[in-house]
Amino acid sequence: MWRMSKDGDTFEKRWAHRVCPQFPELEQFWAKHVVPLTFRDAPDELRSKYIRPSVKSHFIDYADANYATFFHLAQCFYWRDQVEESIRAKEFGAKSDPIGTEAIYCFFSHAVSAHDSAAQFADSVNTVAKKYLKQHIFQVRRSEQHSGDSKVIGINGIIGGPNLRRLHAAVRATKEYRNLVVHERIVYLQNGYLPTKRIKDYAGLRTLGRFARDYQRWSDEGQFEEFFHPAVPTLDSLLDRLISGLRPIWRTTTSVFDRLERDNRDFDNRKIIAQKDRCLSEDAFKRARSLGT
């Protein structure tokens, strides 16, 4: 089986050990239904990790959304580690770069983007399913744009499949933080703790003033811990809930695509290298990467 840790691109190899153990369905889907769109299994003179440019766009769309979801989840792990580093630096009296507040912002921004990419993935899978099965797999949620177009903004459910309540709960919790830090006020780390109840009340510039004014109340046993929890376990829990909520989407898609690969010759033709792609050795891609240097 193809593995991201040895067969992926540079970014996939770097982060496979963090993302794939928690999200094995994403790697399984990548191995079965993204790798065939690349030159990885081509004859030796053509073999490379790159997507073949002549692959039909409805296949490319799901590959792009799959990659985007992996990217944002990997960034969640990165910024989670930065939060941990900032806490550790403060314990030793050092300053961290970036500061913990910035790392929190980046973590939640990427967590929400991971969900948005997953919604795009579901929509792109629907396009493939509609073409080859004459039906959709996912119920996606759309928002009408001023241009008259619609934008995918969420996944309501899997048609005839397991519910996505865990995903919806994780997204609500994640967006509560993200919307606050992006649009209203900063969420500070308080000695390695994050507000987890009445988040809006205990974030922003006046939080420390409240602690100073009502120090005795906050220092009473259990009072602070009722509203604030250790930051890193909180981020770990949110990320685990988000990934757990996404796993049924990839599991369902892999099952449907496996069946299509077995039963539908047109779908399986995505593996065929087009004639005009047969001149694209890895050197050709290296040359392309030099543009702009």
CB-based burial, 234-251: b 16+ in 10 Å, e otherwise: bbeebbebbbebbbbbbb
Q: For residue 159, give its domain range.
A: 4-177+245-271
Weakest mean pLDDT among 36-40, 148-152, 253-257: 148-152
Note the pLDDT of residue 148: 63
What's the DSSP call for residue 34? I
Tell whether 249 is covered by a domain. Answer: yes
Query: Which residues make beta-bridge pairs with 158?
Result: 138
Note the pLDDT of residue 25: 98
For 29, 32, 246, the CA distances from 255, given in Å and listed in that order, are 9, 10, 15
Percent of the residues in the chain that have a pLDDT greater than 90, as a whole number: 64
Residues 93-114, mean pLDDT to the nearest whole number: 86
Q: How far, in Å, CA of 126 to CA of 150, rounded?
A: 15
Tell whether 200 is covered by a domain. Answer: no
- Asked whether 107 and 76 are in contact (CB, 8 A), the reply is yes
Question: When comparing pLDDT for 90 and 232, which is higher?
Answer: 232
Residues 91-115, mean pLDDT to the nearest whole number: 85
For strands 193-195 and 228-230, give the pairing.
antiparallel
Tokens of 112: 């929400």
Q: Which of 122, 61, 120 is nearest to 270 (CA)?
A: 61
Axis-axis angle for helices 57-91, 100-133 (nearest 10): 160
Tell whether 279 is covered by a domain. Answer: no
Q: What is the mean pLDDT of the chain?
A: 91
Q: Which pLDDT tens digit goes with each residue over 107-155? A: 999 999 999 999 999 999 999 999 999 999 999 998 876 666 778 989 9
Note the pLDDT of residue 94: 66
Question: When comparing pLDDT for 153 and 90, which is higher?
Answer: 153
Tell whether 215 is covered by a domain. Answer: no
Residue at 110: amino acid letter: H
Note the pLDDT of residue 183: 79
The number of distinct structural domains making up the chain is 1
pLDDT at 91 over 80: no
Confidence band for 227, pLDDT divided at 50, 70 and 90: confident
Tell whether 277 is covered by a domain. Answer: no
Tell whether 222 is covered by a domain. Answer: no
